[in-house]
Chain A
Amino acid sequence: AQSVTQLGSHVSVSEGALVLLRCNYSSSVPPYLFWYVQYPNQGLQLLLKYTSAATLVKGINGFEAEFKKSETSFHLTKPSAHMSDAAEYFCAVSESLQKLVFGTGTRLLVSP
């Protein structure tokens, strides 16, 4: 069965620093992988998705993620954090027609 593990329930960075949010997946077939962001009192918004077209995926707001099959990882990065990036981030995996399975989320805190 597919699953996702997000390491670190909270990540703190300073404004302008590199953001790295970790995601490892488990899937019996080539997966589809997603990163979603949730701002306070809002629903989830898609940041980016991996669909096997390219291993480095660029998303909105300057985020990108790299699919590494050998490491079963799909870590999310952003070169320079902004205060507005403070939110909760969810990694998710899907196999073919199976339901979307979410990780437990990582809350990103950005300090000035």
Chain B
Amino acid sequence: KAGVTQTPRYLIKTRGQQVTLSCSPISGHRSVSWYQQTPGQGLQFLFEYFSETQRNKGNFPGRFSGRQFSNSRSEMNVSTLELGDSALYLCASSLFGQGADNEQFFGPGTRLTVL
């Protein structure tokens, strides 16, 4: 069974630009969660989508948005990029979503560098 895939793996943008990251979950998984990982802040939860609906949201500004398609693939968009948005963005999928003992399976991440 193929794992979680994320594209692209590396991305370089300049301040003010926008970026779209993509995540394809494990087949059959309906939940996709996004995390931002930085050396200073660690792993921070961005949002979770389940069956095309946003179910949970972290404390990030509105510049960070996402969506999920009917095939469970998800995209995350960051508009008006700032230097502080440089991070590893991780996507995780699970059968039933966040919470309880539901295991999340992580992709390799997209490393975004903002210049």
Contact = CB atoms under 8 A, between A and B. Distances in A.
B99 A96 contact: yes
A43 B106 contact: yes
Given A49-B103, A101-B45, A42 B108 contact: yes
Which of the four size classes fits the interface of chain B? 20 to 34
A32 B96 CA distance: 15
> At the interface, is chain A mostly helix, strand, loop or mixed?
loop
A97 B102 CA distance: 10
A44 B106 contact: yes
Contact of B42 (A41, A99, A102): A102
Interface in B4-55: 4, 33, 35, 42-43, 45, 48
Contacts of A83: none
B72 interface: no
B107 A94 contact: no
B108 A43 contact: yes
A110 to B, nearest CB: 21
Contacts of B109: 42-43
Interface in A57-112: 90, 94-105
A30 to B, nearest CB: 11
13 contacts: A32-B100, A42-B108, A44-B106, A45-B106, A90-B43, A96-B99, A98-B56, A100-B45, A101-B45, A102-B42, A102-B43, A104-B42, A105-B42
